[in-house]
Amino acid sequence: MTKPRAVFLDALSLGPVDLAPLERHAELICWPSTPPQLRLICAASTGTDQIDGQACSELGIAVRNAGRYSTASVVQVTWALILELVCDLRNRRRQVLEGDWQRSPVFSLVEPEFDELAGRTLTVLGAGTIGRGVAAVASAFGMDVRLITSRSGAGELEAALRQADVLSLHAPLTPATWGLINAERLSWLKPSAVLVNLGRGGLIELPALVKALQRGALAGAALDVLDKEPPGAELEALKEVPNLILTPHIGWASRQARQRLVAALPAELQSHIEE
């Protein structure tokens, strides 16, 4: 079996010790001290919430990310989930698999009924390239679009949520947006509304969302992101929540997007070198 790789920082602080016990279990790289020459952390992602920005700033370490590589992929998966919710495709498949269609006295099963998106309102939280991309597709469906950000005024945010038939979350996770969609703001949504989150799990207070779905205060939700990824045992309870679709953080991950990500990193590195 291939040994895992391990980096031992500040090994000098241990003095002259035998590191053989570690080396038996891992391919070990030792630094006498934390490398002072670290000048750049380049996140192979759109978000940088996994990096302590304040600590990096204090240590003079630049932080960059590979933005915009995933826009087409996230927009596509966002709409796949919206349509899954609105058209209730899971039940349609069940009707076929369980023989309901074969037993039908007519050619089509029209129940449970579904509504068209045309004339409905999409509220997008997050006005970056992904949010604007989601909004552009909504226009093709004939939807009205409300585009807001976490910096929108309280009154504007409330009005946009109350008008939403579909709420799509694409804001970055910051101290200001953590738990932004809480119990109070969920209560502003129509009982017929659906919510999708392809931003960050922390944007939503998950227990409040679960309660809203369980009591029918919200028609459905689709989450591609959770607070903890991969999730642990807590996922089991979520599997039983009515009208909740969970996908394993796939929005960013089309084949083409992953290749664009790799291609973008050298440019970020070169740009930092040239500064």
* Tokens at 77, concatenated: 């998966």
* Tokens at 173, concatenated: 């996770």
> Any idea how long the chain is?
275
CA distances from 126 to 131, 132, 141, 169 (A): 5, 8, 20, 7
* Single-letter residue type at 174: T
Alpha helices in 88-232 (DSSP H): 89-97, 100-103, 129-140, 154-163, 183-187, 206-214
Residues with catalytic function:
200, 229, 249
* Single-letter residue type at 92: R
Distance between CA atoms of residues 12 and 30, nearest Å? 9
Quick check: 81 and 137 in contact, CB under 8 A?
A: no
Q: Name the DSSP letter for residue 204.
A: B
Q: Give the residue from 81, 78, 61 showing the smallest Cα distance to 70.
A: 78
Q: Give the residue from 79, 77, 84 showing the smallest Cα distance to 114.
A: 84
